[in-house]
Structure 1
Amino acid sequence: MKVQQILDRKLKSEILAVSPDTSVYSALEALEKHNIGALLVMEGDKLVGIFSERDYARRGILKGKFSRDSFVKDLMTSPVFTVSPQAKIEECLTIMTEKHFRHLPVVDGEKVLGMISSTDLFRSILSQYQNLVSSLEGYISGRPM
């Protein structure tokens, strides 16, 4: 399975992003409002970083930087690792595991298409295995597939 299939399954919605000059507090409010763990950081149409709850915990709270006094550009992860819509799930999992990321932006050239999370990948893998098990059960019991 490829990343594009995951993007197609996700609800079609706007790409959630903030600018580097957004206050950390506002970014945290957006994360909470949308029940997500990370936001893309964009300057116009250009992807410049990712801001996550983890970034705030590690580069903010633990370093004594408070959300109302800090900006996303000071805590975001940059440069950003990205994947293409044609990337395989296995490739994404390898990047996430090796780099300790939970989110990967999906880009086609310079155009940002969305973002996938480790949860998106796990759900996709689980769905594949459930389909395989169902097919095998049907085969074993003699039901048509």
Structure 2
Amino acid sequence: MDTVRNILQLKGNLIYTICITCTVYEALELLEEKNLGALVVVDEIGKLEGLFTERDYARKVVLKGRSSKETLVRDIMIDSPVFVAPDTKIEDCMQLMTNKFIRHLPVMENDKLIGIISIGDIVKYVNDNKDFIIKNLEHYIVS
């Protein structure tokens, strides 16, 4: 059965983080620079504190008339993010994301952040596997 670990092996474990005391503006700059939809929020020692997403910015800053240069990430972040383990099945991740209306899942192992996956990562993984299976079946039929 395919797991989060399989996605991380292909994608890698690069994690973009933002400090809990940084401004929303700084977070937005990093999102734009790296072409991301979310950042993991960490404290001074790198411990997972939350998740900052484009959706948080739109709903908790723009719509509330706040300033992104004055608002801190900790004031609008998701402070209890849903996370998964590397051995979580991909189907379970899809169900979790659908049920919770979320697009990003931090990956934790032994209380340590080891990666983050997005709905886009899952879709790519599933599609690539489907294409691989189809090509193998076509080759089998032709042979």
TM above 0.5, yes or no, is yes
Length-normalised TM-score, structure 1:
0.93
Q: Using the alignment, how far apart are the partners of 1:109 and 1:12 within structure 2?
A: 15
SS in 1 for 2:63: helix
Tell me if structure 1 keeps the 8 A contact 2:52–2:73: yes
What is the root-mean-square deviation of aligned Cα atoms in Å? Answer: 1.1
Tell me if structure 1 keeps the 8 A contact 2:13–2:115: no
Q: Using the alignment, how far apart are the partners of 1:141 and 1:90 within structure 2?
A: 31
Structure 2 residue runs of 5 or longer lacking an equivalent are: none
SS in 1 for 2:86: coil
1:109, distance to aligned residue in structure 2 (A) = 2.1
Q: Which residue of 2 aligns with 1:24?
A: 24
Q: Which residue of 2 aligns with 1:73?
A: 74
State the AA in 2 paired with 1:120.
D
1:31, distance to aligned residue in structure 2 (A) = 0.5
Structure 1 runs of 4+ with >4 Å offset: none
Q: Which residue of 1 aligns with 2:39?
A: 39
Q: Using the alignment, how far apart are the partners of 1:38 and 1:70 within structure 2?
A: 17
State the AA in 1 paired with 2:75.
D
Tell me if structure 2 keeps the 8 A contact 1:45–1:111: no
SS in 2 for 1:63: coil
1:80, distance to aligned residue in structure 2 (A) = 1.1
Match runs of 1:1-145 below 5 Å:
1-11=2-12, 13=14, 15-43=15-43, 44-142=45-143
Aligned length: 141
SS in 2 for 1:77: coil
How big is each residue's C-alpha offset from its partner over 1:21-48, in whole Å with a ceiling of 9 and x where there is no partner? 1100000000011111100001123211
Q: Using the alignment, how far apart are the partners of 2:110 and 2:121 within structure 1?
A: 22
How big is each residue's C-alpha offset from its partner over 1:59-79, in whole Å with a ceiling of 9 and x where there is no partner? 111111121110101111121
